[in-house]
């Protein structure tokens, strides 16, 4: 009987946590990030502010949990596309994942902005935090594909002696965190590609380029072509879905 009671309590708790996350998301989408407060979320789910502290220690913990949910949703969308093309060349999977990331981002601008435009608080930087674990899952999608590419067909990398010493030391540290699966100079290429892609996507989602573009898909595809050049992926072929060029 106690096992059944414990299971019922856990199901009720999970249902309440889901309701809390949905309420936070609704406030975010309809009113902006400033509206996502402990009291506002509590009102949305029909409880008092103090009652919400039974689920989260405070606003920082709530933000971390909601962010983790968004990260997991984005990562799942990318993983689904990746796995649907499991037999395709790694270059095609990289491009498919990059397009899936943009598709999710432009469909969920408030959530994307919540994830990437807000500073990461000390609590949510901790390796044991929900946000950190979910962020690692998201990072691994593209990183693991890049590692696979490096192991099967290494891409061009800069001579370490040509990199500023302070930059190279940081790359050594980062490479160690991923078990040196990418050496520092290859990690530099991976991170440079990510910065280019992420920077453009942020500018699109945050509408920083509206003064010049009403449709940024061709610009994004051009960025992907630049990345395929950097990663040494060729030849070019037409993407049957979008008409955009892809490289193997």
Q: Each residue of 60-77: pLDDT tens digit?
A: 999 999 999 999 999 999
pLDDT on residue 6: 62
- Work out the average pLDDT over 105-125: 85
Q: Which of 156, 159, 194, 154 is nearest to 174 (CA)?
A: 194
The model carries a pTM of 0.86
pLDDT on residue 245: 46
| DSSP letter string, the chain | -HHHHHHHHHHHHHHHHHHHHHHHHHHHHHH-GGG--HHHHHHHHT--HHHHTTT-SSHHHHHHHHHHHHHHHHHHHHHHHHHHTTTS-HHHHHHHHHHHHHHHHHH-HHHHHHHHSSPPPHHHHSTTSHHHHHHHHHHHHHHHHHHHHHHHSPPP---GGGS-HHHHHHHHHHHHHTTTSS-HHHHHHHHHHHHHHHHHHHHHHTTTTTTT-S--HHHHHHHHHHHHHHTT---EEE-TTT--EEE-
Confidence of residue 247 (pLDDT cuts 50, 70, 90): very low
pLDDT digits (tens, 9 = 90+) for 204-217: 999 999 999 999 99
> Structure tokens of 247?
């490289």
pLDDT on residue 238: 44
pLDDT digits (tens, 9 = 90+) for 138-166: 999 999 999 999 999 999 999 999 999 99
How far CA 221 is from CA of 84, 98, 104, 217, 243, in Å, comes to: 21, 10, 16, 6, 10
Q: Which of 127, 141, 136, 125 is nearest to 63 (CA)?
A: 125
> Structure tokens of 126?
């901790």
Comparing 91-100, 158-167, 172-181, 226-235, which segment has the lowest mean pLDDT? Answer: 226-235
* CA 132, chain centre distance (Å): 11
């Amino acid at each position: 009987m106690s096992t059944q009671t414990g299971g019922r309590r856990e199901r009720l708790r999970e249902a309440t946590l889901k309701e809390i996350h949905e309420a936070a998301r609704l406030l975010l989408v309809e009113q902006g990030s400033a509206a996502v407060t402990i009291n506002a979320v509590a009102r949305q789910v029909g409880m008092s502010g103090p009652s919400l502290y039974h689920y989260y220690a405070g606003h920082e913990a709530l933000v971390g949990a909601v962010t983790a949910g968004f990260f997991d949703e984005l990562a799942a969308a990318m993983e689904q596309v990746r796995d649907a093309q499991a037999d395709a060349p790694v270059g095609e999977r990289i491009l498919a994942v990059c397009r899936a990331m943009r598709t999710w981002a432009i469909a969920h601008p408030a959530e994307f902005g919540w994830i990437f435009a807000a500073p990461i608080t000390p609590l949510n930087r901790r390796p044991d935090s929900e946000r950190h674990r979910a962020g690692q899952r998201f990072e691994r999608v593209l990183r693991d594909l890049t590692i696979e590419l490096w192991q099967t067909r290494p891409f061009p990398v800069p001579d370490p002696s040509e990199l500023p010493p302070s930059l190279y030391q940081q790359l050594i540290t980062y490479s160690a965190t991923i078990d040196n699966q990418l050496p520092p100079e290859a990690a530099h290429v991976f991170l440079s590609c990510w910065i280019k892609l992420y920077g453009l996507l942020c500018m699109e989602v945050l509408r920083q380029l509206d003064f010049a573009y009403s449709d940024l898909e061709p610009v994004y595809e051009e960025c992907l072509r630049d990345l395929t050049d950097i990663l040494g992926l060729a030849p070019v072929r037409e993407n049957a879905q979008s008409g955009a060029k892809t490289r193997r």
